[in-house]
Structures are given as C-alpha cells and as structure tokens.
Amino acid sequence: MSRMLWAEKYAPRKVSEIVENRKAAERVAEFISNWRPDQKPRALLLWGPAGVGKTASVYAAAKELEYDLVEVNASDKRSLDEIRKTVGTASSLSSLIMGRKRVILVDEVDGISGSEDKGGISGLVEILKNTVHPVILVANDPWDPKLASVREYCELVRFNRIRSNVISSILARICEREGVQADPAALRGIAENARGDLRAAINDLQMVAEGRERITMDDLRILSLRDQERNVFDILKAIFYGKDAQKIVMAASSSDVDYELLMQWICENAWQHMQYPKELADAYNALSRADVFLGRIRKRQHWGLLSYVFTLMSAGVSLSRKTSGGGVPKYQFPSWVKMMSAAKARRNAIGSIASKIGKKCHVSSREAFTSYLPYIKFIIEANPEAGANLVKLFDIEPEVVGGLISKEVAEKVKKILS
C-alpha cells in the first residue's frame, strides 16, 4: 500500500468534523452557499496560525456542498493570470447553469510577492472584483501591509490554535483506527509539543507510531532529536541570511546546539551560500581563525576567547558574502562528524576483537592487535571456513567482524556460523 500522510487520510470530510474552529468553518460553508455575483464583501479571508483547519475547512465545505474546488497558487503568477482570464467570463458563468458550481480557493495569499511584483496583488484584486464564483482567500498574517487593498474586499474569518486536550483526543482516535496502542501520556506529549498546530501533531504521531503496535513516552525521543536538527537549520538560516552582524552572532551564541558541532555545520555548508571564490576564501578564512581560537581555548582554558569563536564563525562567515545568499540550499550533515563516528565505531569494533583475542592467547590487547590480528584477518579472508572457526573460538560476534574485513567475506562467515 502506498504511504499516505495521516493528516490527509484523516482530514475532515464534513464541516461538522472540523474541531475547535467549527464556527469559522460553518461561516465558510454558509458564505459559499449564499454567494451572489453582486454581493459584498466579495470574498472571505481566512487567517490564523498553521495547521488549524483553514484549508481543510474550504475542502470540507466544498465537498459537502458538492462544489468543484478550483485551487489557485497565489505565489505562481501564471496560475493567477489563468484564473483572472476565466473567472469573470461567460464560459465560467455557463458552468453555473450547466455543471457543478465552483468555489475558488487562493491559498497562502501572504506568499504573493508584494513590492517587486505588484501584478500579483492587483491581479488578485481584479479577480475579487469580477468573479462570478465565491472566492476564499487564506493567509497566516492578514495584516501584512501589502494585503491592504485585498482586505478591503474581504470579510475576515479568524482561526485559532487547537487546544492540546482536543489535539490529544484526535490523536487517540487516529491511533484507534490505525490499531496502535498509545500511552495517553505520549499522546499528551505530542499534543503539547505541537503548540496548537494539529497538522504538526498528526505528522509527529505518524512519525513515531506508523507500523508499530504501541507507543510510549520513550518513543518520543526521536521527535526531540528531529527538533534539534530543525533547530540547526533555523540557526544556519539566521546566520547565512542575516544582514546585521550583531543579530547573526546572537543567533549562533544563543542556540542550544553545541558550538563545536555548530561550527562543523557551518563549515560543511558555508560554500553553498558563496558565489565567488573571494567570498568563499574569506568565509573559510574566518572559520579557520575561529578554529585557531578554539584551539587556544582547549589548550589554555581561556574561555574569554569564546566570543571571538562565535563572532568569526557566524558573522565572520556570513558577511564574507557580498552578494545575495541565493535560495535556501539543502543543508548537509557535517561529514567530519559522520566520518569520526564511523571511524569510532570501527575502532571500537576492532578494540573489542583485539581484547577478546588477547584474553584467549594470554597477551595484551595491544599485542593482540599488532601481532595476532593481521594473521587472523588474513586467515579469515583466505579461508572463510577456517576463519569462521577462529571467530567462534575467540567468541567474536559475527556482526563486528565486518569492521575487520570486507563485507562479502563477513557475510560468508556469518552464513557459515548460522
């Protein structure tokens, strides 16, 4: 079966299934069904925080009233033009008589680029003036100055955050339907963490619960790990897109990400923001100076130098860029950290093998490592059968043998032993 987002799978199909913002959803349905071409205000503007049912209300109302929903992407000027051409014309009028009625949804209106592209806003206003179908606009922040002219044509409908006990009960219902046994405390944890955003809560639930039979508080750890990672992305964005040195340094130094790790993140990703060799060189020069300070701190415990580390690795790097930062790149996890932990895992594996060999052969693990291991490794690779016997003799777990020899041979040995 294909994977489906639970937030979509369990999206409300009827207005009565909208929780918490029911009144607002009912207003949407009422507006659509009573709409007349000469009416004022011309449109509804639904507003409020993310994941509280704005888009879902329009979908549910259209479905229930059996309207076709025409969705317009507000930040795509072409899509807006397309609608403007058809929205007030006779051909669309005929659909009123002939076919099903239509409702037009312009979602994420605040995404319209305001100043550079006045066309977007004025195009929208034109749609509102001429439309022969009900139009519903959605925005997170309707008070954005660029929406002033749009607001004049709209009745504002406010959507509120969903209370966390309501979120909990919805999560519980989803678990029931998915056959997941959920610890109520875990559901409360997810609900509270979502801060009123029901979609976020459902997504989090799916992440920890999908394919499992039960979930407990313990399973929520994966969410906090992910939060930390999201946190890093936000900090990186604040650093790379900031223009004010002081704010950039603040973003770096007030984060709860370990500063050495943050420096690795910056080091891994700075190049993506630099367009010219000169910018790139300056950025990595700043990083290398931050690293020098870090070395002095480690060696001499001169913690007072830490502020230089922060300044150089954040503002020093970011302001090396003289051109615009470009689009938001896909930030990479620091490869150095990955490499170090892979190398560490391998060292640990080899260390444990050496100590086991040492015990059996009455030598130190160091001696086992330098004088015995190379031969044992050779035997295993030359003759997996004999190697398997040695692995058994030394009581080495077949899994860790992989750290010693090639994957294929390790698989052979594992097969022989099983």
Task: Decide whether 204 or 282 has the Cβ nearer to Mg ion.
Answer: 204
Q: Tell me which stretch binds ligand ATP (CB under 6 A): 44-52, 183-191, 280-288, 312-320.
A: 44-52
In this structure, what token pair is assigned to residue 359? 């015990």
Residues near 177 by beta carbon (within 8 Å), at least 6 away in sequence? 10
Task: Decide whether 102 or 199 has the Cβ nearer to ligand ATP.
Answer: 199
The answer to whether 245 and 319 have CB atoms below 8 angstroms apart is: yes
313 binds, among ligand ATP, Mg ion, none (CB under 5 to 8 A by kind): none
Q: Tell me which stretch binds ligand ATP (CB under 6 A): 3-11, 28-36, 245-253, 275-283.
A: 3-11
Which residue of 51, 189, 316, 334 would you call a contact of ligand ATP, by CB under 6 A? 51
How far, in Å, CA of 223 to CA of 148, rounded?
39
Coil, strand or helix at 107: strand
Residue 334 in the binding site for ligand ATP (CB under 6 A) = no
Task: Decide whether 197 or 279 has the Cβ nearer to Mg ion.
Answer: 197
How far, in Å, CA of 129 to CA of 12, rounded?
31
Beta-sheet pairing, 154-158 with 43-47 = parallel
Binding to ligand ATP (CB under 6 A) within 93-152 occurs at: 140
Degrees, nearest 5: CA angle 103-105-110: 155
Residue nearest to ligand ATP (CB): 53
Task: Decide whether 140 or 272 has the Cβ nearer to ligand ATP.
Answer: 140
Which long-range contacts (C-beta less than 8 Å, at least 24 apart) are formed by 322-327? 322/276, 322/279, 323/275, 323/276, 323/279, 325/240, 325/241, 325/273, 326/272, 326/273, 326/275
Task: Decide whether 8 or 395 has the Cβ nearer to ligand ATP.
Answer: 8
Residue 55 in the binding site for ligand ATP (CB under 6 A) = yes
How far, in Å, CA of 171 to CA of 177, rounded?
10
Residue 311 in the binding site for Mg ion (CB under 5 A) = no
The answer to whether 124 and 106 have CB atoms below 8 angstroms apart is: yes
Task: Decide whether 55 or 314 has the Cβ nearer to Mg ion.
Answer: 55
Degrees, nearest 5: CA angle 166-172-173: 95
Which residue of 10, 293, 310, 394 would you call a contact of ligand ATP, by CB under 6 A? 10
Residue 12 in the binding site for ligand ATP (CB under 6 A) = yes
Binding to ligand ATP (CB under 6 A) within 173-232 occurs at: 198-199, 202
Least spacing, CB of residue 164 vs Mg ion, in Å: 20
Write the interaction track for ligand ATP spanning residues 154-173; mark x where CB under 6 A is met and - where it is not: --------x-----------
Which residue of 27, 42, 54, 377 would you call a contact of ligand ATP, by CB under 6 A? 54
Which residue of 28, 53, 167, 274 would you call a contact of ligand ATP, by CB under 6 A? 53
199 binds, among Mg ion, ligand ATP, none (CB under 5 to 8 A by kind): ligand ATP
Residue 21 in the binding site for ligand ATP (CB under 6 A) = yes
The answer to whether 34 and 44 have CB atoms below 8 angstroms apart is: no
Least spacing, CB of residue 21 vs Mg ion, in Å: 12
Binding to Mg ion (CB under 5 A) within 19-58 occurs at: 55
> What are the angstrom distances between the C-alpha of 220 and each of 176, 207, 270, 281, 309?
19, 10, 32, 42, 34
Write the interaction track for ligand ATP spanning residues 229-268; mark x where CB under 6 A is met and - where it is not: ----------------------------------------
The answer to whether 262 and 291 have CB atoms below 8 angstroms apart is: no
How far, in Å, CA of 370 to CA of 373, rounded?
6
Beta-sheet pairing, 102-107 with 68-73 = parallel
The answer to whether 289 and 263 have CB atoms below 8 angstroms apart is: no
Q: Looking up tokens 């317009």, which residue turns up?
A: 72
Question: Contact residues for ligand ATP (CB under 6 A)?
Answer: 7-8, 10-12, 18-21, 50-56, 140, 162, 198-199, 202
Question: Contact residues for Mg ion (CB under 5 A)?
Answer: 55
